[in-house]
Amino acid sequence: MSPTHAPVGAARQGSLRELNLALVLGRIAAADRPPSRADLATATGLTRATVSAVVEDLLAGQLVSEAEPAPWAGAGRPARGLVLADQGPAGLGLEVNVDYLTVCVVDLAGQVRHRTVHRADLRPVAPEDALARLVDLARQARADAARQGLTLAGAALAVPGLIDDSGQVRLAPNLGWRDVPVPELLSAHPPLTDRVPDVPALVVDNEANLAALGELHSRPPGPASFLHISGEVGIGAGIVLDGALFRGVRGWSGEIGHLPVHPQGRPCRCGGRGCLEQYAGQEAIVAAAGLVRAELPADTATARLAELAEAGEPAALRALNDAGTALGVAVAGVVNLLDLDTVVLGGGYAPLAPWLCPPVLAEIKARVLTAAWSPVTVRPSTLGPEAAAVGAAGSVVRRIVARPAGWLNRAG
């Protein structure tokens, strides 16, 4: 959009147009079935003519498309509904974890259009080298997205650690990262996405937070309040209350892996003792099951545990039961404190949920005051092990939907 020769009142008109674009697109995104222009006029209170003009802009900008008309029993021609476009802008989701890198692309409608998981033990790898590998995967994702008619409009990166407002990773104990300037390191590479006003090129956030947001915005919608636990080598939690992530004062909430379950127990990487991670982290479960992690190809650990448990192997079953009991002790404390009725097991816990859920539920039953008349649901994540990367990409997409004018006004 050219900034020159703006007529008087253009700024005000511009902002009204931006509000209307966001209002109409938000209604289309939230609708259970594709709304017609008339439906949108009713729902927004805008005139039919305004809705039509806004929809034309959204169609031209590849933010929405017209759905096939539904079978129509009434008289006359069926009105065509509008849906979020499956071409146009998309979000890039990235995750660096202890033993894998994930890259995914999610379109406006929330569909995962590209997904790569690269397994490798990243602890011996310098942060800049791990990020360089991630950039390579992201480039491939960008090319694949372009082939599908998608343009990456922004990226979000999930890291299992404490991240400050500037996107620096202050501490990721299991990766061995401390004070890693992730945005600066990534800026040494060519951009991963197109430049779109109102959409940050890169957001860095905690992986448990992004996984919880992914779960919150998955379809069909789940509960508005829940605890989402990502069980990897470390254990993080995302706390969702009344439809919003509870981040804490500095954005560092959810460190459930360092809740003590045996106060005088095993020393932990955090400097404390007896932390949940030492009993229910992936390495702890693998060791308790008698598996030697080093002999497993990089992080087939979860799949191997599930296989052994499926086959009824006693050591694996005992290890999972003990881990579930420790997890249940911690979860019961959180449920008592926050009065939640849903606990979602995500990340590496998702495939192990059949064996983890029963002992977690047993501890909740024994320890949560209100459990007798208000049952707590414990279930695996609907997004599977890549929930954090999917949630990261979804966070980009929601930003585009909330402020579509940035995409429509972009240069080029």
Q: List contacts with Zn ion (CB under 5 A).
A: 258, 268, 270, 272, 275
For 56, counting Cβ atoms within 10 Å of its Cβ (0-12 exposed, 13-18 middle, 19+ buried), the class is exposed
Six token digits for residue 159: 């890291």
Question: Please, which residue, 268 or 306, has the CB nearer to Zn ion?
Answer: 268
CB of 255 to Zn ion, least distance (A): 8
Cβ atoms of 48 and 40 closer than 8 Å: no
Question: Please, which residue, 174 or 342, has the CB nearer to Zn ion?
Answer: 174
Cβ atoms of 142 and 193 closer than 8 Å: yes
CB of 270 to Zn ion, least distance (A): 3
CB of 275 to Zn ion, least distance (A): 3
Question: Please, which residue, 216 or 330, has the CB nearer to Zn ion?
Answer: 330
In what helix (H) or strand (E) does residue 237 lie, and over which residues does it extend? strand 235-241
CA distance 197 to 200: 8
- CA distances 268 to 28, 152, 258, Å, are 48, 40, 8
CB of 162 to Zn ion, least distance (A): 13
CA distance 412 to 98: 39
For 12, counting Cβ atoms within 10 Å of its Cβ (0-12 exposed, 13-18 middle, 19+ buried), the class is exposed
CA distance 410 to 299: 41
Q: What angle do the packed helices 10-30 and 387-402 form, to 10 degrees?
A: 140
CB of 236 to Zn ion, least distance (A): 12
Question: Please, which residue, 142 or 258, has the CB nearer to Zn ion?
Answer: 258
Cβ atoms of 386 and 117 closer than 8 Å: yes
Query: Within 13 Å, how many C-alpha atoms sit on residue 239's CB side?
Result: 17
CA distance 21 to 373: 46
Question: Please, which residue, 347 or 351, has the CB nearer to Zn ion?
Answer: 347
Question: Please, which residue, 96 or 268, has the CB nearer to Zn ion?
Answer: 268
CB of 276 to Zn ion, least distance (A): 8
CB of 261 to Zn ion, least distance (A): 10
Give, as one character, the DSSP assignment of residue 121. Answer: -
Question: Please, which residue, 103 or 275, has the CB nearer to Zn ion?
Answer: 275
